[in-house]
Amino acid sequence: MTDSLDYDVLVDDALRDAMARALKRVEREGLPGDHHFYITFRTDHARARVSDSLKARYPEEITVVMQHQFWDLRVDERGFQVGLSFNQTPQILYIPFSAVTAFVDPSVKFGLQFRSRTGEDDRAPEAGRLQASGARAPDADSDNVVALDTFRKT
């Protein structure tokens, strides 16, 4: 037992749960209106499943865009599977929630940034599931990006 409450971990887990719930809703209902997601994740995460060719091109991190061309979105307690096309080659990815470092919905200027977790013993959110398409950078200039580093002690 520790002698402090790890608020940064608690908040990080709550924000990952919000992302998981959004993805689960998209799994059930599809993307509403102009909503779309930029999801940045660690390709070197122990539980991330990406093709060898994609991992060779992006050995540490990649941003995928879930907008018009994604399929087979399946969300579970620990992450999501999604079909995306890279250079006109379809691929199925599995992205653990703990591998995600940024989640942005530029249609509503909303974004979240997460602590990097590359190990297997990281926490999973309460809810979860998703899909994606292509690689681009998130809109970090968004008005609503929550950066937890602002609140951490140095």
Which two tokens mark 41?
């994740």
- The burial class, CB within 10 Å (0-12 / 13-18 / 19+), for 154 is exposed
For residue 128, the model assigns a pLDDT of 33
For residue 150, the model assigns a pLDDT of 44
Q: Which fold has domain 7-151?
A: SH3 type barrels. (2.30.30)
Collect the ranges in the chain with pLDDT lower than 70.
Answer: 1-2, 117-154
> What are the residue boundaries of the structural domains of the chain, listed by start?
7-151
Find, among 59, 81, 63, 64, the residue nearest to 72 by Cα.
81
Strands 110-113 and 144-146: parallel
For residue 16, the model assigns a pLDDT of 94
Find, among 126, 129, 65, the residue nearest to 94 by Cα.
129
0.95 exceeded by pTM? no
For residue 119, the model assigns a pLDDT of 56
> Per-residue DSSP letters for 32-75?
-TT--EEEEEETTSTT-B--HHHHHHSSSEEEEEESSS-EEEEE
For residue 49, the model assigns a pLDDT of 96
For residue 80, the model assigns a pLDDT of 97
> How many whole angstroms separate alpha carbon 80 and alpha carbon 96?
6
